[in-house]
Structure 1
Amino acid sequence: MKNITLLLLLVAISLVPKSTMAQNKGAGVAAAAGALLAIGAGVAAVEQMKERAELTATEYMLANNPEFENFSLKTLDFEGKKLSDMSAASVITFKIQEFVPADKPELNGKKHILFGFTSYGWISEYGIDFDKVKWYLIDSTEWLNMMTSYVSVASGEDNGVVKSQLADGKIVNRGVKVGSKMTIPFYQLEGDMYVVTDYSPDMKFIYNERSLGIFLKETRNLIQIRRSNIIEIHDFFFEG
């Protein structure tokens, strides 16, 4: 915690022009303190929104999935954007795992991922509007189907080959690896090039060089999931 505080203080001080510091040390320190308070307020606001989102995700699970009697729900990703950018369409990701109640239980049950797809304006000066969040719960089988479709459109490889490789391998930035060998390389595209596949009645998948794009047909929002998040989710399902 001390390291984080020191880092924030250094960032705050760096925001103050050196000329200002030289001319008036008192004013410079005050400006740095003000910048630190602003950073702290922003961090606190994001943390509050994360807690609210996690609570709402838990409430969604309790209301819509009564078969889940014992489970852990943790935020995997809350879109590390600037506070001013967070109202844009994005996705919040939660990892869910069932367990058997006991003293200090182990998380060794079935795993799920809960996506909270947000629409434009879901965060405003009035707080979070969860009416603008569309929930989508998936298990490892559905994830494997999704990634098979995504890798296939990203590489041109046949679905059957992709699924067999994904079962034993892992997704990395440039394709699919089994062990240390790159078995399915992704297309190398320019940043403004996209390859599209129609995955389901709910969504299309879009591949470009940097991310997985999910186009939600109902809301007409294009949401990008960073490649690092795809890797994390795949590892969550199939490692350990």
Structure 2
Amino acid sequence: MSLDTTPHNAAQELVRNLVANDPIQGWDQAWKVGATPWDAGDVQPPLRDLLHCGVLHLPPAGRALIPGCGKGYDAILIATATGLETTAVDISETALKQANDLLNASQLPSSVVVQFENKDFFSLGQSEKEKFDLVFDHTFFVAISPERRKEWGQVMSRLVKPGGYLITLIFPIDPPQDYGPPWFVRPEHYLEALGEGWEKIVDKVPEISLPTHKDREHLVVWKKL
């Protein structure tokens, strides 16, 4: 099979090689060289629409988490739209620097709280302080090895408070492949990883997607029982 060497796919191939060589520092190196095909350069329209449609019933002084936050577009959106104290984590220090630069340039009011932290998602949820009313996963689930998906589900179950929400914007939904990242994904893979204890309250193809995401993503919102 010949390799598609268009710029987008060339970047994906570079990311795969970097991460295969070093699963931790490879991501930071990808940010350093600008090989970030997952970075859409803006907030995700399905998330924006969800936060404004009234489906989520969030506490006035709650907390949100975004794992694998990258440059932080969606973290800033969540904090601004919901008023939740928002923590966004990534293992790439380079990505977090860019996220903080974006945050500073946004000139948000002091009432909007966003913190970017250099942490490993799989180390979270060990204390009551690490409990959240809302968690948003977009291009994080597909970035981890499929062998760790069950562990992902266990960590999510620790992190989300009873009555809290896990928003999964599933992308890219592409033909099956046995290599990654991004790893092959379908909506049912999230259910397999999460197990029992969750209620699905939204399950749909978004009405509005970024042009490169159209017909390649699916929105599922889970409520922790």
**What TM-score, normalized by structure 2, do the two folds share?**
0.26
Report the structure, 1 or 2, having the larger strand content: 1
Which fold has the larger relative contact order, with Cα–Cα distance below 8 Å and residues 6 or more apart in sequence? 2
**What TM-score, normalized by structure 1, do the two folds share?**
0.25
Structure with bigger gyration radius = 1
